[in-house]
Amino acid sequence: MRILHTADWHLGKKLETFSRIEEQKAVLEEICRIAEEREIDVVLIAGDLYDTFNPSTEAEELFYKTLRRLSNQGRRPVVAIAGNHDSPDRIEAPDPLARECGIFFSGFPDSQIKDSVLESGVKVESQAPGFVEIQLPSCPYPLRLLLTPYASEQRLRMCFESDDKEQEMRDLLKKHWQSLADCYCDERGVNILLAHLFFADEGKVVEDEPEDERPIVHVGGAQVVFTGSIPAQIQYTALGHLHRCIRMGTVSRPVVYSSSPLAYSFSEAGQDKYVMLIEAEPGKEVKLEKIRLTSGRKLLRKRFDDIDECVAWLGQNQDTLLELTIVTDEFLTGSERKRLYAAHDGIVAVIPELRSMNDTSAENNKVIDQGRDIRELFKEYFISRNGQMPNQEIIDLFNEVLAENPNT
């Protein structure tokens, strides 16, 4: 059985004012081609399908068109769960129609996908909340999926009917998964956990969440769910939330973040992005292949201390989105900024860094004398926050505020 694992599409996301929708169209087209060329049997999408609870019409249209193509007229089941950026109700809303197309949504940890038999011969059975079994006509054995979409601590307790306020949520999840695995996951099928949670190997360094990622509410007061909580019957754990491709767990039971398909913040600058291809058989170790995605503009952080050098480099690296730091003796002039933006259409931010700000001498670290004129203090504060002097318009505005508030 050939399974494709992807996650964190974040459809509709922008980088500051830059729309990424055309890049998202390109990379989802690439994922569809991979599914077709590699003859994938099942596609798993591990949450954060959209970037907001209320995505744009354009983002929704792209999502449904992509899933329709991935499902291949219902012959290739697509299973998608909600992440912390998704509205679980919105994710499940199209279920009656989507199910007929071989697309199955799970918005809540206790959601139960309805039994169905498709014209393609795909058979779906769901014996319990948070579990589904899929039988493909081309495969002599079933796929069993434990499904855990993102949910807050309160919602998880409601879903699992837990009244024990002291029990850590990682223990509650472990008990829930083990119960499902003991009931339904024997060695006559392929057994996979699909989840949108913050996982780590216990005792090892925890990967940071992306700097602009909405943090997952830490489960049960614990920062992470440990890979040791996953039942022994599970052959592969397909995760979403962290945007870097990360493999945890053991050789025989890998726990994997596939990565987002595009770099969505400058903390991901320079990262390669992937989907995971899993070849699985009952009772055997899975075979994994990282397939690197090539669509979309690379995010880069670059630092220069010469405007001419920077402009020359920009001309040679057009297909990128950039955060530039310019080291300078004085603030950037309007003409210098104009040169930079004229040289490249993907500059997201230009950060001036005054050399004087790097001077750590005692003179530059002296205690602020609050008896000095407030206008001079304002200028120093402005420089410390923005790396340059306020222009005359800002100074005039500050003076106007002072005039209206003489006791300030």
Q: Where are the domains of the chain?
A: 2-293, 298-404
Q: Is 231 helix (H, G, I), strand (E, B) or coil?
A: coil
Alpha-carbon dihedral sign for residues 24, 26, 27, 29: positive
Q: How far apart are CA 195 and CA 145, in angstroms?
A: 10
In one-letter notation, the amino acid at residue 224 is V
Check: CB of residue 31 under 8 Å from CB of residue 275.
yes
Measured between alpha carbons, how far is 10 from 360 in angstroms, rounded to an integer?
A: 42
- Residue among 272, 280, 217 at smallest CA distance from 253: 280
> Residue 79: in which H helix or E strand, if any?
strand 78-81
pTM assigned to the model: 0.83
Residue 223: its pLDDT value, please? Answer: 57
Check residue 166 and give its pLDDT: 55
The pair of structure tokens assigned to 138 is 């081309």
Q: What pLDDT sits at residue 363?
A: 46
Digit-coded pLDDT (tens) for 206-248: 666 555 555 554 444 445 889 999 999 999 999 999 999 999 9
Position 341 scores a pLDDT of: 93
| pLDDT number for residue 1 | 96
Q: What is the CA radius of gyration of the chain?
A: 26
pLDDT of residue 332: 82
What does 96-163 look like in DSSP terms, one character per residue? HHHHHTTEEEE-STT--PPPEE-TTS-EEEEEETTEEEEE-TT-SS-EEEEEE----HHHHHHHTT--
Phi, psi dihedrals of residue 187, rounded to the nearest 5°: -90, 15
* Count of other CB atoms within 10 angstroms of residue 324: 20
What is the C-alpha to C-alpha distance for residues 310 and 238, in angstroms, rounded to an integer?
42
Residue 3: phi, psi to the nearest 5?
-120, 135
Helix (H) or strand (E) holding 35: helix 21-37
Neighbours of 386 (CB within 10 A): 14
Question: What residues of the chain score a pLDDT lower than 70?
Answer: 162-167, 205-223, 356-372, 387, 403-408
Question: Which one-letter amino acid corresponds to residue 113?
Answer: I
The fold for domain 2-293 equals: Purple Acid Phosphatase; chain A, domain 2 (3.60.21)
Ranges of H-type helices in 210-275: none
